[in-house]
Amino acid sequence: MKLWCELAWVGGDEPEHGVLIEIDGASIASVAAGAKPPADAERLPGLTIPGLANAHSHAFQRALRGRTHAGTGSFWTWREQMYALAETITPDSYLPLARAAFAEMALAGITVVGEFHYLHEGGNAMGEAVIQAADDVGIRLTLLDACYLRGGLDSFRDRSADAWAARVSNLRGGDTVRIGAAIHSVRAVDFESSKVVAAWATEHGAPLHAHVSEQPAENEACLEENGLTPTMTLAEAGAVSPSFTAIHATHLSDNDVTLLGFARVCLCPTTERDLADGIGPARLLREAGSKLCVGSDSQAFIDLFEEARAIELDERLASGERGRHTRRRPHRAGRAGGPRERLARRRHADRHPARACGRGNRLRRRPPRRPRRHGRRPLDCSER
């Protein structure tokens, strides 16, 4: 199969004209710019971009949209509403809900999602419903099954980290599904159990995610329990590595920023602003070497362009400076950084955000069923 794009962005500074994409079975075999349209190619007018990676999602929270945004409160009061929803969900009801959330993602140009999954009613039945929903929609899935041992609802929790590992080991991936690991948070998983989860992820070559420092109260409780910040606790547990993604990373110390320079950080600004979480230090993280990605998280919005836009615009409001994240800024930061920063950047040279979901090479992977195309003309943003 051949697709010829009038204009396509393939990773450079500017979109390329006349891009020919050849597809061999379930993989993209080649991408070449400056090509004439072959007679047997499907023509895609307007701008074509690669599928987007949604690195942090809780599909079930799509049902909260329009129900939790009015009135007063905080992250903690929102959480009570989220718990009330979670108590009503069964494996049977979760399949159509997750299918609808993933379908909305597909319409927004997302072709791979990292589903941070902690609904464990019926063991793996909920996770299997998520896998089925992703398959129905045709979106690639990394199911990041979260260890959750204390607090929350009974249905979130496993008896122990070993019980979590045994259960997750029974989940089956496939061509379009990967099984990954998550430590829900330092609130939900103690230090010794975090070590078990990190070791499982290493043993299985699986991506590992964790909510990190979303709220100041989480930092305070962790300091009291472990004498360390959440990031330092996770680092001591062996969790922080190039295959680790910290979610939110909003309230960090300088030392936390340095540690996360060797990992990925997923920002979810539309959720963070909805919950009044705060503004994370995205610029500092990037300059430390962190690879940044974004997620729709609570599904208040499903628009990764809005997430990326908010990273820049939120920092403008907080800093009083425009252009905090220009596209050339990383190169300038690279020259300005010290040896450790440059080393961190070389280790994380790939800019593909799908790596947060354990997805690597953009070639020889299953392409989206149809590449996303934004606009019959480059700027009108209509979709078919």
Q: Which is nearer to Zn ion, 117 or 355 (CB)?
A: 117
Q: Are 201 and 224 in contact (CB under 8 A)?
A: no
Identify residue 144 by its one-letter amino acid code: L
Q: Which is nearer to Zn ion, 297 or 314 (CB)?
A: 297
DSSP state of 190: -
Q: Which is nearer to Zn ion, 287 or 297 (CB)?
A: 297
From the CB of 295, what's the least distance to Zn ion, in Å? 7
Q: Which is nearer to Zn ion, 297 or 303 (CB)?
A: 297
Q: Are 43 and 37 in contact (CB under 8 A)?
A: yes
Q: Which is nearer to Zn ion, 35 or 246 (CB)?
A: 246
CA proximity to 122, closest of 81, 92, 152: 92
Provide the pairing of β-strand 264-267 with 291-294. Answer: parallel
Residues in 289-308 at the binding interface with Zn ion, rule: CB under 5 A: 297
Residues in 316-335 at the binding interface with Zn ion, rule: CB under 5 A: none
How many residues can be counted in the chain? 384
From the CB of 132, what's the least distance to Zn ion, in Å? 22
Residue 66 half-sphere exposure, CB side, CA atoms within 13 Å? Answer: 2
Residue 69, SS3 per DSSP: coil
Identify residue 206 by its one-letter amino acid code: A
Q: Which is nearer to Zn ion, 6 or 272 (CB)?
A: 272
Q: Which is nearer to Zn ion, 48 or 68 (CB)?
A: 68
> Which residue is closest to Zn ion by CB?
297
Instruction: Please work out the total of residues on this chain that contact Zn ion, with binding judged by CB under 5 A.
Output: 1
From the CB of 302, what's the least distance to Zn ion, in Å? 14
CA proximity to 53, closest of 364, 352, 383, 306: 352
Q: Which is nearer to Zn ion, 256 or 297 (CB)?
A: 297
Q: Which is nearer to Zn ion, 4 or 60 (CB)?
A: 60
Binding map of Zn ion across residues 48-87, x = CB under 5 A, - = no contact: ----------------------------------------
From the CB of 300, what's the least distance to Zn ion, in Å? 12
Q: Which is nearer to Zn ion, 54 or 111 (CB)?
A: 54
Binding map of Zn ion across residues 242-281, x = CB under 5 A, - = no contact: ----------------------------------------
Indicate the angle between helix axes 91-107 and 125-137, nearest 10 degrees.
Answer: 30
From the CB of 144, what's the least distance to Zn ion, in Å? 10
Residue 24, SS3 per DSSP: strand
From the CB of 22, what's the least distance to Zn ion, in Å? 38
Q: Which helix (H) or strand (E) holds 133?
A: helix 125-137
Tokens of 237: 């547990």
From the CB of 186, what's the least distance to Zn ion, in Å? 14
Sequence-ordered list of residues with C-beta below 8 angstroms from that of 320, at least 6 positions apart, any chain: none
- According to DSSP H, which parts of the chain are helical? 75-86, 91-107, 125-137, 161-168, 191-204, 216-226, 230-236, 254-260, 269-274, 282-288, 304-319, 329-336, 339-347
C-alpha dist (Å) from residue 106 to 40, 140, 157, 194, 383: 27, 10, 30, 33, 12
From the CB of 74, what's the least distance to Zn ion, in Å? 16
From the CB of 56, what's the least distance to Zn ion, in Å? 6
Three-state secondary structure along 266-326?
A: EECHHHHHHCCCCCCCHHHHHHHCCEEEECCECCCCCCHHHHHHHHHHHHHHHHCCCCCCC
From the CB of 211, what's the least distance to Zn ion, in Å? 6
Residue 18, SS3 per DSSP: strand
H helix and E strand count, the chain: 13, 13
- Interface residues with Zn ion (CB under 5 A)? 297
